[in-house]
Amino acid sequence: MGSGFFAILDDIASIMDDVALTAKIATKKTAGILGDDLAVNAEKATGFVSSRELPVLWAITKGSLVNKLIIVPIALLLNVFFPVAIKIILVLGGFYLAYEGVEKIIEYFFHHPAESHEEVSALQQDDSTAEKTKIKSAVTTDFILSVEIVIIALGTVLDENVTIQILTVSIVSLLATIGVYGIVAMIVRMDDVGYKLISRSRNKGFFAGMGALLVKSLPVIIRILAVVGTIALILVSGGIFVHNIAYLHHILPDIASIVRELAFGLIGGLIMVAIISGGKKVVSLFK
């Protein structure tokens, strides 16, 4: 009986070793999307009075956990009963990510609206309604990105047994939520920490300078995250195309993979921008 118990422990240890390895690989694969998720939610969790920033972020975090509780079992079931759907969803998601990335670039260089539709709507609402609107928007964006995170994570363990698949995807999903929103929490509180340092040091000395640096750094960090997230969107989408569309395997094989992925991501995004823009114009003709 004792030997059987230790054999079970040995099996569990072996499984956990395998899960640790596959989770590490899956986390690296999803890093690009996590960067965009971080940038988006850092932006959406700012702009409130100090006392509301963490409650808003907590509401978004709970929404993200619910998203993953919905997505993970559906993805695992699809993998068992309709595995081809995984690649189809990945490619479709890749086109969505490519569109998001390229559309941001086009918007930045060619369109400079004074205020976005979301910002205008928020200004016309009271604080409570504006807060709920931002939370809903953030949770919806998180859902779309979570689909890609879960499927990409699952895609790294398709050759493993079901137990490792379930544990790996679950761990990556949990780490994604804790990691992203934990970092966002630190970012959105940077200015408050800075103000406290300035106040306690009476606006003199090293700590006052550190506080001023934190206050000034917050908007810069958010802008940097937005740029990094946009590039990551395009690279992740290009990587999805290269690895899941057989025809692309043989195009420009001698060029560095990051260049190929960036190129295919840009092309995919431009195609989607053209299709969606054309679709909007056609719809407008019938209004």
Please list, in sequence order, all residues whose beta carbon lies within 8 angstroms of the beta carbon of residue 193, skipping any fewer than 6 positions away.
Answer: 211, 214
pLDDT over threshold 60, residue 145: yes
Where in the sequence is the domain holding 217, given as residue range(s)?
A: 2-285
Query: Considering the entire predicted model, what is its pTM?
Result: 0.68
Host H or E run for residue 254: none
pLDDT digits (tens, 9 = 90+) for 181-199: 888 888 877 877 888 888 8
Give 243's pLDDT tier (boundaries 50, 70, 90).
Answer: confident
CB hemisphere CA count around 180 (13 angstroms): 36
* Residue 3: pLDDT band with limits 50, 70, 90: low
134, 167, 111, 122: which is closest to 52 by C-alpha?
134
Residue 45 has pLDDT above 80, yes or no: no
* Range ranked top by mean pLDDT from 54-58, 101-105, 127-131: 101-105
Angle at 226 between CA 225 and CA 229, to 5 degrees: 80
* Alpha carbon distance 82, 36 (integer Å): 29
How many separate domains does the chain show? 1
Q: Strand runs (DSSP E) across 3-57, as ranges?
A: none
Whose tokens are 């939610």? That residue is 41
Q: What is the mean pLDDT of residues 57-84?
A: 87
Q: Is the pLDDT of residue 125 over 60?
A: no
